[in-house]
Structure 1
Amino acid sequence: MGDTSSQGSGAGRSGGAAVLSSMTGFGRVDAGEGGARWTWELRSVNGKGLDVRLRLPTGLEVLESHCRDTVAGLLSRGNVTVGLSFQRAQGEAVPQINEAALNAFLAALETVHRRVPDAAPVALEGILAHRGIIEWKEPEEDPAERERLLSALKASLAEALQALVDMRRSEGAAIETVLRGQLAEIARLTQAAEAAPSRSPQAIRARLAAQVEALLGTGAPLDAERLHQEAVLLATKADIREELDRLQAHVEAALSLLDGGGAVGRRLDFLAQEFNREANTLCSKSNGTELTAIGLELKTVIDQMREQIQNLE
């Protein structure tokens, strides 16, 4: 292939390990072969699946299936636009006689001479100058040259796609750093919730004693069954052990997905929904302002995390 120049940035982890990728990226390659010059431009944005849209010049539609297969070989999600601008150097046109036009013109001349015998003959230059008799055609493309051109186009497409992939991986690495920080914050808030003073047995007993006192203050006789029910209700509401365990398990699962790399956006998005469900339940079970504040902060971090996950492949 002829000269090429490409634009793209970033790279994934070394050693060929699977890395995270965003769905946003750009790749461009300017290249040439023989007398032809072209530019590939590839852009990708977020998408639920992989959607490849092509803009190919007339005459090069033969590349369509190759473009789709090449993109699908490296990407699994994103709306990808593949554009090719192509310019071929003008070859030397070859003159050809249009036999039908020439025969029609000569027949007309013969008719004129029969009717006007004394008319001056028409010079050869005049005949050839008549519109349509001489046609200029581009020389036919050599099959071997066309195959070389198509091979060069495919090779430069691969370069442009790799530039796009590198940019997506670079952005994916940045998103991974943010996600790991957010998961660490969720783990910290989970520990803070577990240590919240309102969850201690002393706090629960004090709250129960206050409710018993309120019941006695009404002047109504103390119903042992009612007292027992209140105690069970208060203890149940204060028990967020399951929610805390699940939050910790979700943190570990998310970190495992990040460590594995690859196209994990959908699975992380599902985990983000589970995180949010546990945070909501924690808030609803809260028996103290401190625990409520922790739950609300958890929800904020989870929402921010989900926004980042939406950009991942």
Structure 2
Amino acid sequence: MTALVEAKGLKRFYKVGSGRTRGTLHALDGVDLSIGTGESVGLVGESGCGKSTLARVLARLVEPTAGSILFRGEDIAAIPLRRFVASPVRPRIQMVFQDPTESLNPHLTVGEAVADPIRRLTGVRDTAEIDRRAHAALERVGLPEVLIGRYPHQLSGGQKARVGIARAIAVEPELLILDEPTSALDVSVQAVVLKLLADLRDRLGMSYVFVSHDLDVVRLLCERVVVMYLGEVVESAPASALFEAPAHPYTRALIAAIPDPQRRGARPPRLDGSPKSPIDPDPNACRFYGRCPIGQPVCGTTKPPLKPVGAGHSAACHFAGPPAETLGSQGQ
């Protein structure tokens, strides 16, 4: 599969505190990620793992501290944000935000909200052509024309979510980044929006980066899953391989937390304690060490690299492998 986007060594640090308490928060710390043309990639992990920061860095809404983002071979991370706004790559990468209410301008009607990026990013100045493209985008997401003149406060949550999607696809992007686009919606509406996203991907051939806490949603929508923990990628695999044979103990704990009647009575892997602080983390230790159910002393002194464990499957663990294999390694 041809790579559309290749992120290499992405870092995003924030200075926090002051004086003696001053430190550096490692929101992203050396992330590598490849997204193929037409591929759908899911980013998962608990709150604070860095997945939303990664989404915003890829969308060039946040400047990376270090690293590169190759979009069809061009390093767009090297383009300052103030110049990237006018870059021809800008309309090729669009984002759908988590809260459709907060992301829509309350002073713009539905039609104006969808037409705005067309006017700003495509160079089209003909009003009739802008309206035609806006109407086509709204039709693609299933919104009737009667809503075009309404304002966000006059719409339901599902309708606002569709407007956000229409606004993003109106400029015909190659990469659509979705930051938990259904988390603010009722369950019944979530299903409708997810089906819409799956249909749009098939019809328009876009690549997706889908950020979510819901692993069931990721399993249905994504071909490949990337698991993050405290700013780092700990596992990456085709969705089928990851859910059938997770290699990292953190991934196994996430999957075990999914309600499943077939596992009734089974005890899921237990994660004791809370994640470590992302401020000035120990560069020589696995960030999951101390919380990991199979952690060994080596984990506290040597950081495990992200290494292959199968076809297209990699994990950052000294004892990476299926549960039985991992337990055998632990006992050695």
Shorter-chain TM range is under 0.3
Bigger proportion of residues as strand: 2
More helix by share: 1
Larger radius of gyration: 1
Higher RCO, Cα 8 Å, sep 6+: 1
TM-score normalised by L of structure 1: 0.19
- The TM-score, its normalising length taken from structure 2, stands at 0.19
